[in-house]
Chain A
């Protein structure tokens, strides 16, 4: 069974840093794209960033609002992907979901999703 489990969320002050983890199981981790999507309290979904597969050298993409502040890395030995968040802002407060990229005909869809981890940026 494919499973994604996020951890690392919590309360952090503006300007602070946090690292989210997503532990994957049930599939060949290096073959898949992995994305992060967030949801501010009571709001809709916002795509945050992507780590492509090993074949694509784990290259990354980000939404403009987090570029230069967030990074994504992977640790193959742990089947884990990480979202490194720096210079956090109040507007980064959200539930952060890890999701696997389901690829077909050159397109990527999000399936499945982890349960999410809450990040609260507040003084």
Chain B
């Protein structure tokens, strides 16, 4: 199975901050990676797929990069509605797997 390791697990940030979350795969996954946002009590929402493509309707302050084993999700100018948990997910091979999540808290 492909393991996805996210770091950090938790981070505290202020509105307006630039935030970077990393996701490392246990083996190369090309760019077959997505990022999801989940708010408490809500279902996850697709933000980015194919490592760097923004899903329709997602604000441009979100961006993704990477290929192979190392990926990043960046939020440029954190907004109050961005405080949530973020997960990466690979679509290279079964079983499909998710990272452990990064919870972004208000500082």
Q: How far is the CA of A61 from the CA of B96 in the complex (A)?
A: 10
The interface size of chain A toward B, counting residues with CB under 8 Å, comes to: 25
Q: How far is the CA of A61 from the CA of B95 in the complex (A)?
A: 8
Contact B95 A102 (CB under 8 A): no
Contact A113 B49 (CB under 8 A): no
Contact A64 B49 (CB under 8 A): no
A interface residues with partner B (beta carbon < 8 Å): 35, 37, 44-47, 50, 61-64, 97, 102, 104-105, 107-116
Contact A108 B100 (CB under 8 A): no
Residues in chain B near residue A35, CB distance under 8 A? 96
Residues in chain A near residue B96, CB distance under 8 A? 35, 47, 50
Using an 8 Å CB-CB cutoff, how does the interface string of B36-66 with A read, 1 for contact, 0 for none? 1010000111100110000100000000000
Tell me if B98 counts as interface (CB < 8 A to partner A).
Answer: yes
Residues in chain B near residue A47, CB distance under 8 A? 89, 95-98
Contact B46 A45 (CB under 8 A): no
Contact A102 B46 (CB under 8 A): yes
Sort chain B's interface into a size bin: 20 to 34
Q: Distance (Å) between the CB of A96 and the closest chain B CB?
A: 11
Q: Distance (Å) between the CB of B91 and the closest chain A CB?
A: 5
Q: Distance (Å) between the CB of B6 and the closest chain A CB?
A: 9
**Closest chain B residue to A105 by CB distance?**
B50
With A44-B87, A114-B43 in contact, do A109 and B34 touch (Cβ < 8 Å)?
Answer: yes
Residues in chain A near residue B49, CB distance under 8 A? 102, 104, 107, 109
Contact A45 B95 (CB under 8 A): no
Indicate which residue in A50, A63, A105, A111 contacts B46 across the interface (CB closer than 8 Å): A111
Residues in chain B near residue A46, CB distance under 8 A? 98
Residues in chain B near residue A104, CB distance under 8 A? 49-50
With A47-B97, A109-B34, A109-B91 in contact, do A116 and B50 touch (Cβ < 8 Å)?
Answer: no
**Closest chain A residue to B96 by CB distance?**
A47
